[in-house]
Structure 1
Amino acid sequence: MSAQVSTADLVAMLEDARARTLELVSGLDQARLMGPQSEIVNPLLWEIGHLAWFHEHFILRGLDRSPPRMAEADGLYDSARVPHATRWSIPLPALPDTLAYMARVQEALVRRLEGREPTPQEAELYQLVAFHEDMHDEAFTYTRQTLGYPRPSFAASASARDTGTGPWPGDVAVGGGTWQLGAEPDGGFVFDNEKWAHPVSVAAFRIARAPVTNAEFAAFVADGGYRNPACWDAEGTRWRDGCGAEHPVYWSRRGWDEWTCRRFDRDEPLAPDQPIVHVNWYEANAYCRWAGRRLPTEIEWEAAAAGAPTPDGKLSRTKRPYPWGDSAPTPEHANLDGGHLGCVDVAAFPEGDSAWGCRQMLGNVWEWTASPFLPFPGFAPDAYKEYSEPAFGTRKVLRGGAWATRARMIDTDYRNFFGPERRDVFAGFRTAAL
C-alpha cells in the first residue's frame, strides 16, 4: 500500500514531523542544545543535523545521486561512522546553519515530487525518513525529561477533554489458538523487523486490563521490593547494585509514604492512577516477581492487542491493525501525539479497548514484554540496514507506543526495542498471570 500514499500525504508527513522537531528545540540555548555527555542521549544540535543528513542520504543522494547539501555532512552526522562519544567534540555547525541545512534538504524533498505522484520506492523511502524523524522527536522529548529541561510546548496539545480518571484493575482471559505474529505484506509501510507474519501457537492466558499504576508500583517500593533478593534475577541484581537503585529514577520521597515525581523541570505529586513510567525491564520484572505475576511475551501482547475471540472464546485468526479495529487512531482512541504532554490515568480512553477488553494497548506508555528482540523467520534488512540487525539479541521488545509517539507510525505490529537497563524512555508495563 505504500505506492498508494499520495504526494500530498507524504509532504504533509514531512512538514508535520519537521514542525514537531522545531518545537522540541525551540527556546533552548547553546548549552542546552549540547547538554552533558551521556551514553543514553545525543547532543540535540547533533541530532537535528542527523535528521537532515538521513533525509538527504536515502532520497536525494541515494535515489538521485545528487551532491551533498553540506560538504562535511557525512563526517558529522552519519551515525554509523561518527562514534557516539565524539558527538560533543566534533565541530558542529551553529544552530542557524544547522536549521538552514535542514531547510535546504526539506525543500529539495518536496520539490522533487512536484506535479506527480511518487513511485512505490519513493513512497517507501519518504515514509521511512518521516517516521525516522518521528522516532527522533520522541527521543528529543525524553531527552528533555532526562536532562531536566522545561516541558515542551506543542501546538496541538493542551486538550481539555475529560479523559476519565481512576484505576482499571483486573484481568481479561485471552483464548488460545494459532496466531500470525508480525505484519502482513499488504498492510502498508512496514519496518524490516516486522516482516513477515508467521504462524505461532498461543496457549490461553490472562493479562491485565491496564498497565501497572504508580500506586501499585509504590506498594512494591514500600514493601522493600528493591531490596528483596527474591524479586531480582542475576542481571537485574547487578544493574540494581551497580547504580544503587531504590525506587524509580525520577521519584523523590515526601514524608514517609508520599512521593513526588519529576516531570521535565518540575517536581509534581505522584499521580496514583497514571501508569508507572521510566522503569526499565529489570524493574518491571522485579515487580512481577513480587506480585506473583509475569511479563507477557511479545506473542501474547500482540494477540491481546490485535486479536479477537471466536464464538467459543478461542483466538480468532482475524487480526486488527489497531486494538479497536481498522480505523486510524483519533484523540478519542489513545493518548498519542503529545496531546496531553504526559501520561493520563489508566482508565482513560475506553474507546480504544481491544476486543478482549484490554485498555491503552496503544499510547500512554510503551510496555515491556518478556521477549528478547530477535528477527522473524526469513529476516532481511531493508534500506536502513543499521535499524534492526545490530540490536538483535541485545534488547528487549516493547510494544504499544507512548504519549509522545506519533499516531501515524504506530499500530499493533510495531516493535520497539531497548536495552533492559534503559529507564529514560517512556516505558511501563502490564502484567500477565502465572
Structure 2
Amino acid sequence: MPLSPNAADRHETELLRDRIATVLARSRARTAVLTDCLDEAELVAQHSRLMSPLVWDLAHIGNQEELWLVRDVGGREPVRADIDQLYDAFKHARADRPTLPLLDPAQARGYVGTVRDKVLDVLDASPLTGRPLVADGFAFGMIAQHEQQHDETMLATHQLRTGPAVLTATTPPPGGPTADEIVVPAGEFVMGTDTDPWALDNERPAHPVHVPGFAIEATPVTNARYQQFIADGGYDRPELWSERGWAHRVEAGLVAPQFWERDSGNQWWRRVFGVMTPVRPQQPVVHVCWFEAEAFARWAGKRLPTEAEWEKAARFDPATGTSRRYPWGDTTPDERHANLGQRHLEPAEVGAYPAGASPAGVHQLIGDVWEWTASGFDPYPGFRAFPYREYSEVFFGGDYRVLRGGSFGTDEVACRGTFRNWDHPIRRQIFAGFRLARDLRADEH
C-alpha cells in the first residue's frame, strides 16, 4: 500500500537523517584514523610550515561544527566560545599556529566529542526543512565536507612528516587498456548545478557554456611519461616554462616531482607515507605543481584543459544532451568507479576503473589525483555567496588555479563532477597531477 503524501515526506526526511548521520560518522572515523596513530609530540608538532599541527586541524573541525550546527542550526549555547579566535583559519597563518595556546590532544578530542554529541541531538530535532541553511540538511552536509577536506589536508601532512610509516591501506587495483585521447565535439552543455542539495556556492548556479571542439587525453599523465620529460631535460629547458614558472623552478630547485629520489643506478623512487617505493610507471604522476604541469604540456605539444573542458568531458552525456553528476551517471561512487576515501594510499594505475569512465571513454576523472586545469578561480555568472563569503568569494581573482576531480584522499561526499578546488600554482604537497588537452585540427572539426 503506497504511503500517504505526509508519510512519504516523513520517510524521505528519515532517510536523509540517516544519511547525514552516516557521513558524519564516516568523517569522524577517518579523523580518528589520522590522529590516533600518532603520539602527542607528533600531533602538536608542525611537520611543514605549509601545514598546521594536526592537533589544530582536529580542534578546528570541532569548532566549525560547533559554530554552524550547535549554535546556528541548533540554537544551543556555545561549548567553547573562548577558542573561536584560535581556530579561525583567517586569523592565523598556518606557519604561526604552533605558537598559539592550542588545546592539547586530550582536550581537543574531548572538545570534538562533546560537540558531536550535541550535533547528533540537533540532528534528531531538526526538521531538515525551512531556511536554506537547514533545507535538505545543507549545513550538515557542508560540515561533513569540511571535515573530510581537513582530513585530506591532514593526510597531506602525514605525507610531509618524517619517521616510520603509521598509516596502512590495501593496494589499488591494477590498470587496464584505454584509448590515448578522446575528441569532444563543439557544443553547449550545462556547467555547475542548481539541483545538488549539498553543492557549495562556487559550484552554483547552473549555466550554459559553449565549448569549442577539443581533444582530451583518456587518462591522467603517468609516471612513465613524466620520466620521459625529465630524461629529455624538461627541468633544464627554460623555453618549456613560462617566465614565472622558470623563476619558481630555479628558486625552488625543482628537478622532479616532490618526494621523488633517484639512486645511483638511475632508478627513481618515491616516498609514500614513510615508505620508499619504486616509482610505478603506470600510476598517474602526483605531487607536481601547476608550473610543472604547464611545462610538461608544452613539451608534449599540448596544453592543460580549461575548467569548462574538464567538466564537459566529465559530465556531458551526448546521448541525452544532459550533464550527469559523475562521469558514469548519477549514482554514488563505490570501489568499482573511483579511487576515493583513503581506501588506498596512492593513485591506481591508469585504466583501473573502467566502470567509472565517461560515455565518451575518458577514464579516472574522479579520484586518484586532483587535476590542474588552465583556469583561474572565478565566480560563475549569477554567483551568490552562501552561507559565508570566506568559503569562496574572498579567493576569486587571486593567484589560484582550479583543480578538478578529487584524489585518492578525497571522500565521495566532497567530490562530484561540479566540485571545484583551487590552490596556488606553486603548491606540490597536495595530491595533484594533470591530464592534457589540445585544440582540434581542421580535419577533426
Distance 1:41 1:319, change over 3 A: same
Q: Give, as a single letter, the amino acid of the residue that structure 2 aligns with 1:143.
A: T
Q: Report the equivalent of 1:194.
A: 203
Cα separation, 1, equivalents of 2:162 and 2:302: 33
Q: Report the equivalent of 1:389.
A: 393
Structure with more of its chain in helix, by fraction: 2
Find the partner of 1:416 among 407, 421, 434: 421
Q: TM-score, normalised by structure 1?
A: 0.93
Query: Would the aligned equivalents of 1:192 and 1:381 in 2 still touch at CA under 8 Å?
Result: yes
Cα separation, 2, equivalents of 1:12 and 1:255: 50
Cα separation, 1, equivalents of 2:40 and 2:222: 37
Give how far 1:5 is off.
6.2
Secondary structure of the corresponding residue to residue 138 of structure 1: helix
Distance 1:69 1:112, change over 3 A: same
Distance 1:300 1:5, change over 3 A: farther
Q: Report the equivalent of 1:378.
A: 382
Percent of aligned pairs sharing the same letter: 38
Query: Would the aligned equivalents of 1:278 and 1:425 in 2 still touch at CA under 8 Å?
Result: yes
Cα separation, 2, equivalents of 1:234 and 1:150: 39
Secondary structure of the corresponding residue to residue 397 of structure 1: strand
User: What pairs with 1:94-113 in structure 2 (closer than 5 Å)?
Assistant: 94-113=104-123
Consecutive unaligned residues in structure 1, runs of 5 or more: 311-315
Give how far 1:188 is off.
2.1
Cα separation, 2, equivalents of 1:145 and 1:153: 10
Distance 1:342 1:54, change over 3 A: same
Cα separation, 2, equivalents of 1:188 and 1:71: 30
Query: Would the aligned equivalents of 1:278 and 1:427 in 2 still touch at CA under 8 Å?
Result: yes
User: What pairs with 1:169-208 in structure 2 (closer than 5 Å)?
Assistant: 170-183=180-193, 185-208=194-217
Q: Give, as a single letter, the amino acid of the residue that structure 2 aligns with 1:302.
A: E
Query: Would the aligned equivalents of 1:7 and 1:117 in 2 still touch at CA under 8 Å?
Result: no
User: What pairs with 1:279-318 in structure 2 (closer than 5 Å)?
Assistant: 279-310=288-319, 317-318=321-322
Q: Give, as a single letter, the amino acid of the residue that structure 1 aligns with 2:218.
A: R
Give how far 1:238 is off.
1.5
Q: Report the equivalent of 2:170.
A: 158
Query: Would the aligned equivalents of 1:259 and 1:270 in 2 still touch at CA under 8 Å?
Result: yes
User: What pairs with 1:174-323 in structure 2 (closer than 5 Å)?
Assistant: 174-183=184-193, 185-310=194-319, 317-323=321-327
Q: Report the equivalent of 1:339.
A: 343
Give how far 1:357 is off.
0.4
Give how far 1:136 is off.
0.4
Cα separation, 1, equivalents of 2:375 and 2:164: 34
User: Does 2:144 correspond to 1:134?
Assistant: no
How many pairs were matched up?
Answer: 424
Secondary structure of the corresponding residue to residue 105 of structure 1: helix
Give how far 1:362 is off.
0.4
Consecutive unaligned residues in structure 2, runs of 5 or more: 1-8, 440-445
User: Does 2:48 correspond to 1:48?
Assistant: no
Q: Give, as a single letter, the amino acid of the residue that structure 1 aligns with 2:436.
A: T
- 358-367 or 374-383, which deviates more: 374-383
- 394-403 or 381-390, which deviates more: 381-390
Q: Give, as a single letter, the amino acid of the residue that structure 2 aligns with 1:202.
A: V
Distance 1:278 1:135, change over 3 A: same
Find the partner of 1:349 among 340, 349, 353: 353
Give how far 1:158 is off.
2.4
Secondary structure of the corresponding residue to residue 210 of structure 1: coil
Give how far 1:355 is off.
0.7
Q: Report the equivalent of 1:148.
A: 162
Write out per-residue CA displacement over residues 241-260 of structure 1, whole angstroms, 9 at most, x where no aligned residue. Answer: 11111111111012353200
Secondary structure of the corresponding residue to residue 398 of structure 1: strand
Give how far 1:128 is off.
0.7
Cα separation, 2, equivalents of 1:103 and 1:375: 36
Secondary structure of the corresponding residue to residue 173 of structure 1: strand
Distance 1:380 1:115, change over 3 A: closer
Write out per-residue CA displacement over residues 247-304 of structure 1, whole angstroms, 9 at most, x where no aligned residue. Answer: 1111101235320011011211000000000001000000000111110111111111
User: What pairs with 1:32-71 in structure 2 (closer than 5 Å)?
Assistant: 32-36=42-46, 38-71=48-81
Cα separation, 2, equivalents of 1:148 and 1:240: 24
Query: Would the aligned equivalents of 1:23 and 1:152 in 2 still touch at CA under 8 Å?
Result: no
Secondary structure of the corresponding residue to residue 325 of structure 2: coil
Cα separation, 1, equivalents of 2:178 and 2:225: 12
Distance 1:293 1:140, change over 3 A: same
Give how far 1:404 is off.
1.1
Distance 1:223 1:3, change over 3 A: farther
Give how far 1:187 is off.
2.5
Query: Would the aligned equivalents of 1:53 and 1:77 in 2 still touch at CA under 8 Å?
Result: yes
Find the partner of 1:369 among 363, 370, 373: 373
Q: Report the equivalent of 1:12.
A: 22
Q: Give, as a single letter, the amino acid of the residue that structure 2 aligns with 1:134.
A: Q
User: Does 2:97 correspond to 1:84?
Assistant: no
Give how far 1:149 is off.
5.3
Give how far 1:119 is off.
2.6
Q: Provide the aligned C-alpha RMSD in A.
A: 2.0
Cα separation, 1, equivalents of 2:175 and 2:89: 42
Secondary structure of the corresponding residue to residue 124 of structure 2: coil
Cα separation, 2, equivalents of 1:250 and 1:187: 37
